[in-house]
Amino acid sequence: MPSPGVITGWQLPGGYGVRVDTHAGAGYRVPSHYDSMIAKLIVHGASREDALQRMRLALDELQVDGIATNLPLHREIVRDAEFETGGVDIHHLERWLRARAELRSQVA
């Protein structure tokens, strides 16, 4: 989802077990020809449950304004019941997106 433009707001999460690798920040101009990953959020915890809770909080704290991002998608995924239990494979995202699209088309 390339979204060139200027990042007008930038707030990174922090805390124990949270790391953000990035080259961007407020005022950064995202060019039209770029690697769409402007930041990488990494968390760890004593257990999967602990790490997921930290990830949810970190994603909720992360703010990027001025360009479109996939933050809403990541916020939904880490709250998905099947993802929470860890019973997923490499095709989980495809199935999840398809089911989500079908549900939204039924509601519309």
pLDDT < 50: residue spans in the chain: none
Exposed/middle/buried for residue 39 (C-beta within 10 Å: 0-12, 13-18, 19+)? middle
Q: How many helices (H) and strands (E) does the chain have?
A: 4, 6
Sign (positive or negative) of CA dihedral 76, 77, 78, 81: positive
Which DSSP symbol is given to 34? Answer: S
Summarize pLDDT for 59-87 with one digit per residue, the tens: 999 999 999 999 999 999 999 999 999 88
What is the domain partition of the chain in residue ranges? 5-107
pLDDT for the residue 79: 95
Pick the CATH number of 5-107 from 3.30.470.20, 3.50.50.60, 3.30.413.10, 1.20.140.10: 3.30.470.20
